[in-house]
Amino acid sequence: MDEGLPADTTEGEFSTARARRERGISAVQQVYDHLRHLIINLKLPPGAPVAKSKIAADFGLSQTPVREALLRLSDEGLVDIFPQSGTMVSLIDVQHAREAHFIRLAVEVEVQRVLAETIQPVGMAELRAWVERQTTELKAGSQTAFKQADNQFHDAMFQLAGVQGLTRLLQTQRGHYDRIRGLYLREHERRETVVEEHNAILAALDKRDAAGAEAGVRRHLGKSLAQIDEIRELNPGYFL
């Protein structure tokens, strides 16, 4: 199971020793993707320092692409860069998370309306496959893999609705929301509920029930922020 931080990571430090350079992808993009993955999945927790020199060494790079990747993460509000002092992972901003949730919900409600009118059997099969993958990861106890399958399920809905370009736009806005959701999903029972909610959305889409699908996605996306007081109490050092 991968609850919390990995074995080679403690609060205030982290390892990118498993970082690997990939052909065809720019150095900046690879560093950005790797660090963002660690931050969103709380393996690099809020408040942790980020050492440019260590990241550069782990990737076999100069510090220039690392600096550019960190600037991108700073633009998303995921790291705070202090000139002459260093860089740290930003604390979670609940207000920012609420605003990102507002935007995401508005878009996903419209996606449900479109899918209820247009989705074909092959599309339903693709969505069911992602829910099945989530069920597999739920049984395996992998929170990170479960979240990835969760994201893929939603990304597939955007693609089937013909607005896949919005996934990237939303990603740049939802870092604080996604970290809250990650804290929310640490409990196994809550991940079970996610699978049930996804199946409810699919059932509504299968019946061409736009109202039912909309209600399902509203219920599904609102859970983590509804529990924010409890989440903050359990993780006080992670929040502004």
Tell the burial category of 124 from Cβ atoms under 10 Å away from its Cβ (0-12, 13-18, 19+). Answer: middle
pLDDT on residue 20: 58
Q: How far is CA 2 from the centre of its chain?
A: 16
What pLDDT band is residue 23 in, cutting at 50, 70 and 90? low
pLDDT at 84: 83
- The side-by-side arrangement of strands in the sheet containing 79-82 is 49-50, 86-89, 79-82
Burial 138-177 (b: 16+ CB within 10 A, else e): beeebbbbbbbbbebbbbbbbebbeeeebbeebbebbbbb
225 and 98 Cβ atoms separated by less than 8 Å? yes
CATH class of 27-89: mainly alpha
Angle between helix 175-184 and helix 143-160 axes, rounded to 10 deg? 130
Domain extents for the chain? 27-89, 94-238
How many angstroms separate the CA atoms of 4 and 144, rounded? Answer: 10
Helix-, strand-, coil-residue percentages of the chain, each rounded to 5: 65, 5, 30
User: Does the pLDDT at position 6 exceed 50?
Assistant: no
The answer, yes or no, to whether residue 95 has pLDDT greater than 50, is: yes
The pTM (predicted TM-score) of the whole model is 0.86
Distance CA 42, CA 102 (A): 23
Q: What is the mean pLDDT of residues 133-151?
A: 95
Using the 8-state DSSP alphabet, how is residue 68 labeled?
Answer: H
Task: Examine the pLDDT at 13 and tell me if it is beyond 60.
Answer: no
Residue 223: partners with Cβ closer than 8 Å, 6 or more residues away: 184, 190, 193
Provide the 3-class DSSP secondary structure of residue 98: helix
Query: CATH classification of 94-238 is 1.20.120.530, yes or no?
Result: yes
Mean pLDDT across 31-37:
96
DSSP 128-157: HHHHHHHHHHHHHT-HHHHHHHHHHHHHHH
Instruction: Name beta bridge partners: 88.
Output: 49, 80
pLDDT tens-digit series, residues 61-79: 999 999 999 999 999 999 9
Residue 4 has pLDDT above 60, yes or no: no
